Amino acid sequence: MFTPRPIGHVNSPYQDTSAIPKGLGVKHDAEGVLTLLPEYAPGLTDIDGFSHLFVIWAFDRSEGFELIGHGPTDDRPHGVFATRSPRRPNPIGLTVVELLRREGARLFVRGVDMLDGTPILDIKPYMSSIPAEKLRRGWLAEAESRKQHS
Ligand X SMILES: C[S@@+](CC[C@H](N)C(=O)[O-])C[C@H]1O[C@@H](n2cnc3c(N)ncnc32)[C@H](O)[C@@H]1O
Binding site for ligand X (CB under 6 A): 17, 20, 22, 59-62, 84, 86, 93-95, 113-115, 118
Shorter beta-carbon distance to ligand X: residue 105 or 112: 112
CB-nearer residue toward ligand X: 41 or 92: 92
Pure H helices in the chain: 138-148
Q: Which is nearer to ligand X, 58 or 105 (CB)?
A: 58
Closest residue by Cα to residue 125 from 96, 100, 105:
96
Separation CA 50–CA 127 (nearest Å): 9
* Minimum distance from residue 143 beta carbon to ligand X (Å): 14
Minimum CB distance to ligand X smaller for 36 or for 71:
71
What's the closest the beta carbon of residue 137 comes to ligand X, in angstroms?
A: 14
150 SS3 class: coil
The number of CA neighbours under 13 Å toward the Cβ of 51 is 2
- Do 22 and 5 meet the contact criterion of CB atoms below 8 Å apart? no
Least separation, in Å, of the C-beta of 130 and ligand X? 17
**Rounded least distance, CB 52 to ligand X, Å:** 13
- 94: which strand partners? 56
